[in-house]
Amino acid sequence: MTEPLTQLTDEETLFGDTVQQFANDVIGPRVHDMDAAGKLDPEIIPPCFELGLMGIEIAEEHGGGGASFFLACLAVERLSSVDPSVGVFVDVQNTLFNNCLLRWGTESQIERYAPRMATDTVGAYALSEASSGSDAFALSSRAERDGDEYVLNGSKLWITNGAEAGVFVVFATIDPDAGYKGITAFLVEREFEGFSVGKKEDKLGIRASSTTELLLDGCRVPAENVLGELGKGYKVAIETLNEGRIGIGAQMVGCAQGALDAALGYSHEREAFGRAIFGFQGVQFELAQLATELEAARLTVYNAARLKDAGQTFLKEAAMAKLYSSQVAERVTSAAIEIYGGYGFTKDYPVEKFYRDAKIGKIYEGTSNMQLATIAKAMRG
């Protein structure tokens, strides 16, 4: 069994502290208004690029940080401790779009898109459709060859970063009769003819993170923008999502940490029966239990990320990380509201938002049942 490497290096500690300071100082004052508006403040996007958060694994020669997958997850965790909406904004850029481009892109594609993704362009990942969620490959979107282009028709749903993205990884099938073996990935730019962004969802949580519909109405994509091989889009999707689930685990850890920090602080301020409620053993024990579960979730996420960076198998560990961290986030954020009492149920305090944000962790990038199925399959051997 591979021993987990959970201790942060000096470089990782410095990076994490820098991201945390940015989250506290720049994002923190905007959280309430962004949640109420259901939209990211556009002023936070350029600093995310300037700080290097949008191209962490992209090579330095292309303007990126040339750093590890682990650092990308660490960034997502720290951002999410202040606002999970910003956490997933950065997460999709790094663990889905950039990871997909760097893993499957041709040299020409990487040279064309990587510098943009590292400096000024937001990316999105478009797999889901109305009839294909957990059954990810039941795609109805079609791609037909027309000379030097492919023409895409169909629609996509639940696309994170859809409102901000300039480039999308879009999955469509070139041969419906071939089943999953007809699925192909394409790099689609927002300005391409026949492409448009449709309805933006009004969500329970992570409200500032855009979740949109994409419309493909005779969308013309150069043949050179096929990402990976024709008919191998299923492989691109599966392997990218395995990595993305670790990023969602990091988001859930950050979400839970933000709620726990708030609850701990409030337990020293709120008084009952003449003293701060932290003085009651029942409150102490609850906070201790939550902190223990959160640390276990964090180490599960860190271990999966370390395995990925080490080039070792991490499929089961990624599923465990997402499954457990989302469970812990739901428990921690719920308990935090109770520690606040009636105030926790109001929007004047931060924990109700963390509670709403936590729920999505059990749903997107593979539901909890899908993670359990993956873990069980791995146990069968």
Nearest residue to 170 (alpha-carbon basis) of 148, 145, 150:
150
**Tell me, what CATH number does 220's domain have?**
2.40.110.10
Q: What is the pLDDT of residue 134?
A: 74
Q: Is residue 253 part of a domain?
A: yes
- The model's pTM is 0.96
- Same domain for 116 and 166, yes or no, is no
DSSP assignment, residue 129? Answer: B
Non-local CB neighbours of 42 within 8 Å, separated by 6+ positions: none
Q: How many CB atoms lie within 10 A of CB 306?
A: 22
Six token digits for residue 57 = 């694994």
- Same domain for 326 and 343, yes or no, is yes
Q: What is the pLDDT of residue 381?
A: 74
- Same domain for 158 and 224, yes or no, is yes
- Same domain for 267 and 371, yes or no, is yes
8 Å CB contact between 209 and 160: yes
DSSP assignment, residue 299? Answer: H
- Same domain for 258 and 215, yes or no, is no
- Same domain for 118 and 78, yes or no, is yes
**Tell me, what CATH number does 372's domain have?**
1.20.140.10
Six token digits for residue 8 = 């942060």
8 Å CB contact between 297 and 253: yes
Set 293, 317, 330, 365: catalytic member: 365
Six token digits for residue 263 = 């609850």
Q: DSSP secondary structure string, 113-126?
A: HHHHHHHT--EEEE
Q: Is residue 28 part of a domain?
A: yes
Non-local CB neighbours of 64 within 8 Å, separated by 6+ positions: 52, 55, 56, 57, 58, 114, 117, 118
- Same domain for 45 and 82, yes or no, is yes
Domains in the chain, number? 3
Q: Is residue 86 part of a domain?
A: yes
Q: Is residue 2 part of a domain?
A: no
Domain's final residue, options 231, 253, 272:
231
Residue span of the structural domain in which 14 resides: 10-122
Q: What is the pLDDT of residue 80?
A: 98
- Our CA dihedral for 303, 307, 309, 312, rounded to 10 degrees, sits at 180
- Same domain for 43 and 71, yes or no, is yes
Q: What is the pLDDT of residue 6?
A: 62
Burial environment of residue 170 by CB neighbours within 10 A (0 to 12, 13 to 18, 19 or more): buried
- Same domain for 83 and 154, yes or no, is no
Q: Is residue 4 part of a domain?
A: no
Q: What is the pLDDT of residue 1?
A: 35
**Tell me, what CATH number does 29's domain have?**
1.10.540.10
Domain's final residue, options 231, 257, 279:
231
Query: What is the tens place of the pLDDT at every residue in 245-289?
Result: 999 999 999 999 999 999 999 999 999 999 999 999 999 999 999
| Residues of the chain falling short of pLDDT 50 | 1-4
Domain's final residue, options 177, 207, 231:
231
- Same domain for 195 and 255, yes or no, is no
Q: Among this protein's residues, is 365 annotated catalytic?
A: yes
Amino acid at 85: S
Q: Is residue 136 part of a domain?
A: yes
Backbone angles phi, psi at 130, to 5 degrees: -60, -35
Q: What is the pLDDT of residue 3?
A: 43
Q: Is residue 50 part of a domain?
A: yes
Residue 229's region, left for phi above 0, alpha for psi from -120 to 50, else beta, is beta
- Same domain for 199 and 295, yes or no, is no
Q: Is residue 65 part of a domain?
A: yes
Query: What is the tens place of the pLDDT at every residue in 200-224?
Result: 999 999 999 999 999 999 999 999 9
- Same domain for 376 and 238, yes or no, is yes
